[in-house]
Amino acid sequence: MENKIPEQVIICLDTSRSMFRRDYEQSRFNSSINAIKTLVSERLSSDNSRFGIVTFSNAARKVLDFTNSEPEILNALESLHIKGCSALGDALGLSIKMIIEELRKLVESMPKILIISDGNYTKTAIDPLKMARLAQGLNIKIDTFRLGEVSHLNILKRLTDLTNGTYYYINDLETLKESSIAFANSNVVPKSTTYKSPIENPSFLRKIAANLLRVRDLTKSMEQKLKQIRGVANYKKCSICFSDVDPHTKGSFYLTGRYCPNCQAPFHIHCLAGWADSQDDTLLKRSGTVRCPHCFYLLKIPTEVTQAQKLKILSGSRTVTSLDSKNIEEFTVDKIEAHRLGVQARYNACPVCNTIFEKDQDIIKCPKCETLYHYEECFPKLHDGTCRNCGSRLIYKK
């Protein structure tokens, strides 16, 4: 039995002048449009994937935001035309930005970028390979349809190799059609396969979470919107404590107040952090992120707040009485090679240095909360072996 995993796909289409060449029965551009129609129709007939469209010529342009409406996609394709050069790097940057914006919402589909191009690109301030490395760090695969002759750089192949994507080598219309159908069915997995969303990785969450806006960051239109929704008098009052004065610092809202960049709901940063700590989602707690209480947009808790909370926990562990110390759980631990933990190590980051684990590194694993630490560099930095996540004492015996 097989299963299909829904995806969020950005179709990144080259609309530069070189795509006008007629080395196929139709031009490269028209052949690409027909291929997109085929793969969209094939994919949407069987799952809930959503497509966005970005084109690139002299500059990158968002043509269509994510949708699963086939008529909308077809109408958008009919409006495209060829002109100018080929800003591939700009298009990748825009595509990644659109995917991040979508993942900040309550969306758990796998992200993917499909580039359809002849591989001839214009050098701009944004390097395609740099964008591919960014996509790799965000678990975004880049697949490519390469039309026409292969250049000596073969940039499209390099992009897929960096992100573990699929490179489709296309030299005629029949191959193009076959590649379209193959891409449409590329999300088919065995029924027994466990789907793991990329947003289950704490370090990934921290990377894509949006920064809160300060009072001075608000644009005039945002201020006007807030005044209309909340009234002129209270648009600088926290939505959690309903006061303009921060109950933790006793300072004004201008100092510690922030706004959700999606719905502009106002919060004191300490109130939002306290609200986040009261929730049951351990993944969000470990990543230092929180969902906006109003619109559920993924937000990054400011570093100064999370660090203060950790210091408070650690300082508390240093001053416990001998009676309290009896209640602290102790575990004897041993080092483990990262590759033996598989996806558990691959989808986590060390809370001491906030970096991921290499497969040949030794790791210390907390038996209680399963937090992982680099054995050589980071575990010795724990105060008295105290786990930064659950407070257990980890004892390593050589």
pLDDT in tens, 374-389: 998 889 988 888 888 7
The DSSP H or E segment spanning 188 is strand 188-190
Class at the top of the CATH hierarchy for domain 321-396: alpha beta
Task: Tally Cβ neighbours within 10 Å of residue 35.
Answer: 25
Three-state DSSP class for residue 359: coil
Q: Which pLDDT does position 279 carry in this prediction?
A: 79
Q: How far apart are CA 266 and CA 236, in angstroms?
A: 7
pLDDT at 321 over 50: no
At residue 390 the predicted structure's pLDDT band, cuts being 50, 70 and 90, is confident
Domain segments of the chain as ranges: 2-198, 202-307, 321-396
pLDDT of residue 144 exceeding 80: yes
pLDDT for residue 159: 95
202-307 is a CATH 3.30.40 domain: yes
Q: How far apart, in Å, are the Cα atoms of 380 and each of 314, 328, 333, 394, 396?
A: 15, 19, 13, 11, 10
Identify which has the larger pLDDT, 319 or 280: 280
Count of C-beta atoms within a 10 Å radius of residue 178: 15
* Interval 53-83: pLDDT, tens: 999 999 999 999 999 999 999 999 999 999 9
User: CATH topology of 202-307 equal to that of 321-396?
Assistant: yes
Collapsing DSSP to helix, strand or coil, 11 comes out as strand
Nearest to 29 by CA among 57, 68, 8, 49: 57
Quote the pLDDT of residue 152: 66
- Given pLDDT bands bounded at 50, 70 and 90, which one contains residue 341? confident
Q: What is the pLDDT of residue 200?
A: 60
388-393 long-range contacts, Cβ below 8 Å, gap at least 24? Answer: 388/310, 388/313, 388/314, 388/351, 388/352, 389/286, 389/351, 390/366, 391/313, 391/317, 391/328, 392/328, 392/329, 392/330, 392/331, 392/366, 392/367, 392/368, 393/328, 393/329, 393/330, 393/331
Q: Which two tokens stand for residue 75?
A: 């109408």
Q: Please provide the average confidence, as pLDDT, over all residues in the chain.
A: 83
- Contact of 96 with 89, CB cutoff 8 Å: no
What global pTM score does this model have?
0.67
Which pLDDT belongs to residue 304?
A: 64
Look up residue 356 and give its two tokens.
């991921």
Residue 234: pLDDT band with limits 50, 70, 90: low
Instruction: Report the pLDDT averaged over residues 184-190.
Output: 84
- In this structure, the number of other CB atoms found within 10 A of the CB of residue 114 comes to 24
CATH of 2-198, one of 3.20.20.70, 3.40.50.2300, 3.40.50.410, 3.30.70.990: 3.40.50.410
What is the distance between the alpha carbons of residues 267 and 287, in angstroms, rounded to a whole number? 20
Average pLDDT over residues 286-291: 83
pLDDT the model gives residue 313: 45
